[in-house]
């Protein structure tokens, strides 16, 4: 049975050798207004990866890709909006092709702080661990609908994973790239993050939880639908469980 690790990073820990093969992956849809501050904050806090920031422009119409290019990021663009999961899969595949072994994913809406991004990168010594950011949504002042949807997702995933997962929807994560792609998730929306987490637990990957602080500015724009997307997550999880039981 997989065991869940809790982690609080020491800032005095030496940098691991694989940091040189770590990239920052930002899935972005119509995020031109916030992208520059997100990229600049991550670069300040995680200068070791500042030259390896990959933005996946998921069919934006507001110039997101142009902003990313002007910031000096590598940009991969979808010709239409395909969903966050599709953007993450494209980003992970691109990072793998570039020879990276670890990808830190950061949402483009500004809710993650650079200092937490750094803590997440350093939260586990092995590059093979899947590291999850864990938010205190009440302390962060998250809208009630977001807290409810996250609670539903946490309940179902914890039940099927056999682990007490505290935040299954946080976009601040550290993925072991090769192992994550090998899990074979084809989910294209927000259900990708739930699906790949469940598959990782079943595959025996180490899962580490790192406490972070989320920011919910009043003018924050989100593309997460608090009714539709949680049910898509549940549907994907139930399908994954059924498939796992069939193939044992």
The pLDDT of residue 246: 67
Angstrom distance (rounded) from CA 227 to CA 90: 26
Per-residue DSSP letter, 127: T
> Would you list the DSSP string of 21-89?
GEEEEEEESS-HHHHHHHHHHHHHH-GGGTT-EEEEEES-SSSHHHHHHHTT-EEEEESS---HHHHHH
pLDDT band at 13 (very low <50, low <70, confident <90, very high): low
Q: How far is CA 214 from CA 59, 114, 143, in A?
A: 26, 11, 12
For residue 81, what are its two tokens? Answer: 């909006």
Give the pLDDT band (50/70/90) at residue 205: very high
Confidence of residue 6 (pLDDT cuts 50, 70, 90): confident
Q: How far is CA 62 from the centre of its chain?
A: 23
State the burial class of residue 134 (Cβ atoms within 10 Å of its Cβ: 0-12, 13-18, 19+): buried
Higher confidence at residue 238 or residue 26? 26
Give Cα 133 distance to the centre of its chain. Answer: 8
Class of CATH domain 9-242: alpha beta
Give the pLDDT score at 1. Answer: 47
- Higher-confidence residue of 56 and 143: namely 56
- Domain ranges (residues) in the chain: 9-242
Judge whether 120 and 42 are in contact, CB under 8 Å. Answer: no
Kindly tell me if the per-residue pLDDT of 237 is higher than 80: no
Identify which of 58, 13, 18 has the alpha carbon closest to the alpha carbon of residue 35.
58
Structure tokens at 21: 């093969």
């Amino acid at each position: 049975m997989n065991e869940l690790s809790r982690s609080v990073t020491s800032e005095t820990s030496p940098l691991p050798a694989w940091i040189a093969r770590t990239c920052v992956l930002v899935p972005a849809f119509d995020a031109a207004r916030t992208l520059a501050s997100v990229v600049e904050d991550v670069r300040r806090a995680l200068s070791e990866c500042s030259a390896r920031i990959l933005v996946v422009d998921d069919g934006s119409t507001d110039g997101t890709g142009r902003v990313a290019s002007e910031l000096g990021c590598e940009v991969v663009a979808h010709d239409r909006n395909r969903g966050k999961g599709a953007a993450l899969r494209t980003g992970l595949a691109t990072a793998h092709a570039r020879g990276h072994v670890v990808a830190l994913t950061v949402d483009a809406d500004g809710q993650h702080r650079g200092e937490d991004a750094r803590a997440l990168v350093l939260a586990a010594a092995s590059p093979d661990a899947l590291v999850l950011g864990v938010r205190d949504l009440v302390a962060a002042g998250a809208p009630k609908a977001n807290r409810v949807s996250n609670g539903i997702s946490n309940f179902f995933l914890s039940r099927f994973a056999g682990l007490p997962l505290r935040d299954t929807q946080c976009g601040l994560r550290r993925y072991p790239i090769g192992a994550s792609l090998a899990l074979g998730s084809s989910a294209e929306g927000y259900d990708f993050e739930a699906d790949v987490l469940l598959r990782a637990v079943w595959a025996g990957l180490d899962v580490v939880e790192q406490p972070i602080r989320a920011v919910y500015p009043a003018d924050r724009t989100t593309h997460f639908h608090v009714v539709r997307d949680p049910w898509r997550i549940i549907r994907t999880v139930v399908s994954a469980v059924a498939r796992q039981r069939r193939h044992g």
